[in-house]
Amino acid sequence: MSEPMTELLATIPIFARFSHQQLDNISRLMVKRRYPANHLLFEEGSPGDTFYVIISGEVEIQKKSAEGGDKVTLAVRGAGDFFGEMALIQNAPRFASAKIAQECQMLELPKQRFLSLLGSNPVLANQIMGALSYRLRESDLHLIEDLKKKNRELREAYDLQMKLASDLKQSNQQLQEAKEFLERIISTTPNAIVVTDPEKRIVTFNQTAIRFFGYSLEEIKGIDFISLFATSAQSSLQESIDQAIKESLLVRKEVTAQRRDGTYFLTQLTATGVQDERGEVVGVLGIIEDITEEKNLERQALELEQMASRGEMAAEVAHELNNYISILGGNLELLPYVMARGDYLQIQEKIKAMQEAIQKMTIFTENLMSLSQQKVNFVPCNLSLFLDNELAFIKPQARFRQVDFGTSWDPNLPTIQADPNRLQQLFYNLFNNAAAALSEVESRKREISVSTRFLPQREMVEIKVADTGRGIKAEHLDSVFEKRFTTKPKGHGFGLLTIKRVVEVHGGEISVDSKEGVGTTFTVLLPVKPPVETSKPKEFTSPEKVRTS
């Protein structure tokens, strides 16, 4: 072996204590080889017959995992390291595999050559084994220290894990307590709380919601949230919620809800999308407030206010009529004296003055009847939803409690332009008349049916209100919308007249069909678009301008 090999051996720690002559003898036994990266030097379980010393590069010592999957790297050997020494003294198979990680230059000592060295130079062979044993002891000591260090780290990790487990247990307990507290809040809140998944299927339904709607959690879970509301309101509500989710807004609107038993009630719905930490929508939160009683109180307050206004107006009307009556009385009082004198010119003037006063009184009273036409506020109106709300309002009232309601809404009904306050007056009077007619029915079912239909050829919507009441006599049908017509003992006839005026101010039509002992049907036709002009009350002259002489 060349002198450079001897010098190379001298640089390797395992041979550092050997003499030059001993290194020269060893170099004659060693084989110098170069291996490329990723070359498999030997496989785990294969026979071992070579001892390796790394001059340059890196070798990975790998072992198969216990599960039989990918190999696990046990160590990485570099320049000056050695491996495979057990092959010199044992016939056991390789404990692990060796793979070239980086291109390597190595010295190899085949087992056969080492065995021959034992025969020819046992002293040198013994020195080599001593050096290997020394390095192995050093490796063992390092390994022991590493194991101790690992044990300390494992103990620290275990202690940390136990602390984390304790903290986690405490956090879970606090979280559970917070969850139970939140559930109690949700359960006892006066408003219904409904939570859905991303497809708007119900997943949370609190006790108030169960009380409002009449469904158990098992019945309602997985049902579409929108189905809780009246059919006529579902399409617009779906659009509103989708838009709110898209723009991260709140939906807040009054909408009619439907109970499990088919009855309706008015609600104030607040809804919004629920987002996760990535900003993705994972559901919908709906808070539902029952405002039926509130609306009842509002309407009662409005009725009281209207009654008060009517009282004030009655006083003003009485004052105005008294002026006209004074004119009539004054002229009537003077008329006998004028007639006694035979002054026909004066008689004609007095009679003309009284005629003018009567004419002014007629115009004045007609203006009172049509006063409601002065201010008409046309706005877009979903008629089916409007009727749903009206029915939800009247059903709890005493006069309707023994009445069955049936509805049929045209799904293609367009939005119309109408005055909601006047429509409320129109249908409230129709429903009241129907209830009055049904109050005398004992031998058959008491029922009010309401339906809508779109008439595209006429650009109008048709609303039918039918009852199974006593009906109207045939001879009275042509007079139902005339002034002061009524079949009620204490009626004044204003209700039907008001209905007709509301229909007219909308540019619509109304008709009635009735059969005595069977029932009555009112048919209202309203245009989709408002009329170009609405009728205005006639002008009238103040009574002070009527002649008294």
User: Residues near 532 by Cβ (< 8 Å), separated by ≥ 6?
Assistant: none
CB 376 within 8 Å of CB 534:
yes
Strands laid side by side in the 509-515 sheet: 404-408, 447-455, 460-467, 519-527, 509-515
Length of the chain equals: 549
Going along the chain from its start, the domains and CATH numbers come out as 3-149 (2.60.120.10), 189-290 (3.30.450.20), 294-374 (no CATH), 379-527 (3.30.565.10)
Q: Read out DSSP for 408-460?
A: E--TTPPPEEE-HHHHHHHHHHHHHHHHHHHTT--SS--EEEEEEEEETTTTE
CB 252 within 8 Å of CB 262:
no
For β-strands 50-64 and 71-77, DSSP reports them as: antiparallel
Q: Read off the amino acid at residue 338.
A: V
Residue 118: Cβ within 10 Å count: 14
User: Residues near 224 by Cβ (< 8 Å), separated by ≥ 6?
Assistant: 200, 201, 202
Nearest to 469 by CA among 491, 440, 428, 431: 440
What one-character DSSP code corresponds to residue 539? P
Report the C-alpha gap between 378 and 205 in whole angstroms: 39
Report the C-alpha gap between 105 and 102 in whole angstroms: 10
At which residue do the structure tokens 């809404």 appear? 409
CB 194 within 8 Å of CB 187:
no
CB 207 within 8 Å of CB 187:
yes
Residue 178 sits at φ, ψ, to 5 deg, of -65, -40
Report the C-alpha gap between 175 and 181 in whole angstroms: 10
Per-residue confidence in pLDDT tens, the chain, 549 aa: 456 777 777 777 777 778 888 888 888 888 889 999 999 999 988 988 898 989 899 999 898 876 666 788 888 988 888 888 777 777 878 888 999 999 999 989 888 887 887 777 777 777 777 777 776 676 667 768 877 888 888 888 888 888 888 888 888 888 888 878 877 777 778 899 999 999 999 998 998 999 999 999 899 999 999 999 988 788 888 888 888 888 888 888 888 898 999 888 889 999 998 888 888 888 999 999 988 877 777 666 656 655 665 565 566 566 556 656 766 777 777 778 778 777 778 778 778 777 777 776 776 666 555 544 456 788 999 998 889 888 887 787 778 878 889 999 998 899 999 988 888 888 888 988 888 888 888 777 889 999 999 999 989 999 999 999 888 888 877 777 765 555 554 444 456 777 888 898 888 999 999 888 889 999 999 999 887 654 333 333 333 333 333
Beta strand extents in 65-136 (DSSP E only): 71-77, 82-83, 97-110
3-class SS at 17? coil
Nearest to 282 by CA among 209, 206, 195: 195
Nearest to 487 by CA among 424, 496, 426: 496
Report the C-alpha gap between 32 and 27 in whole angstroms: 9
Look up the pTM and report it: 0.44
